[in-house]
Amino acid sequence: MIRLAIRTLPVFAVIIGFAMILAAFLNFSGVRTAYLDLIRSRMAMTAGAIATDIAKASSLGIRLPEQTTLPDLLARQSSAEPLLLSIDVEGSEGDILFSSDPARTGTLDDIAGDTGAFRHRQDVANDFGAPVGAVVVRLDRAAIDATIDKLRVDILTAAVPAGLGAVVAGCLIALLLLTRLHRIARRASDGRAGAEPLGSAEAEMARLQTSEAA
């Protein structure tokens, strides 16, 4: 049975381990998705509010570069967002006209090179559907990634003991089932119990042999 136990352990360890890894991944990715959805939703709300103001001003004939109340609005919106890098208002050519980060005003938005930012972009169109510009909300990707990394470690920390416990419990149950089968089989092969019809057939056969001999 020791040999059997040695064989049982890796089988159940692999199967339970695989299931727990998949379950941990599903748990992690579910919470991660909800976290990122909340952030995206908040970014969309901020960008949407600014885009609505820009569109309204544009419909009154105020061109985007002339919407001089925007810096105050951007400053107000950015004050409540701890992860914020900047809120930019871009012209239709991608040049940043206004930004909550003064250093970005007047530069071109380098989307490909902006790897440190978690971005949300909302295009703004006028009443005729022609593009006016865009609002870009940029959050600190490193801070977001750090939260996600911590979540990953926490979930893994919870999954490992649960998985190990499951492996041990699974192996013990499997071993118990096999031991029980082994015990029943040994009793049956010794003719003690567990195979009563065989015993009665042997007894019947013996009786027939005796009467045949007589």
Q: Which of residues 100-139 bind other proteins (CB under 8 A)?
A: none
Task: Answer whether 137's CB lies under 8 Å from 80's CB.
Answer: no
User: In this chain, which stretch among 57-65, 93-101, 123-131, 199-207 interacts with other proteins, using CB under 8 A?
Assistant: 199-207
User: In this chain, which stretch among 10-18, 58-66, 100-108, 127-135 interacts with other proteins, using CB under 8 A?
Assistant: 10-18
Q: Coil, strand, or helix at residue 102? A: helix
Tell me how far CA of residue 163 lies from CA of 27, 106, 175, 193, in angstroms: 14, 55, 18, 39
Task: Rule CB under 8 A: choose which of 5, 25, 119, 123 binds other proteins.
Answer: 25
Instruction: Report residue 89 as tokens.
Output: 């208002």
Instruction: Report residue 132 as tokens.
Output: 């006016």
C-beta of 110 vs 196, nearer to other proteins: 196
Least distance (Å) between residue 58 CB and other proteins: 16
Rg of the chain over Cα atoms, rounded to whole angstroms, equals 36
Least distance (Å) between residue 139 CB and other proteins: 11
Binding of other proteins by 210 (CB under 8 A): no
C-beta of 93 vs 149, nearer to other proteins: 149
H or E element, residue 108: none
> End-to-end distance of the chain based on CA atoms, in angstroms?
47
* Footprint of other proteins on 41-80 (CB under 8 A): 41-42, 45-46, 49, 80
User: In this chain, which stretch among 33-41, 93-101, 103-111, 125-133 interacts with other proteins, using CB under 8 A?
Assistant: 33-41
C-beta of 125 vs 178, nearer to other proteins: 178
Task: Answer whether 71's CB lies under 8 Å from 167's CB.
Answer: no
Instruction: Report residue 1 as tokens.
Output: 């049975």
Q: How far apart are CA 89 and CA 70, in angstroms?
A: 9
* Footprint of other proteins on 179-198 (CB under 8 A): 181-182, 184-186, 188-189, 191, 194-198
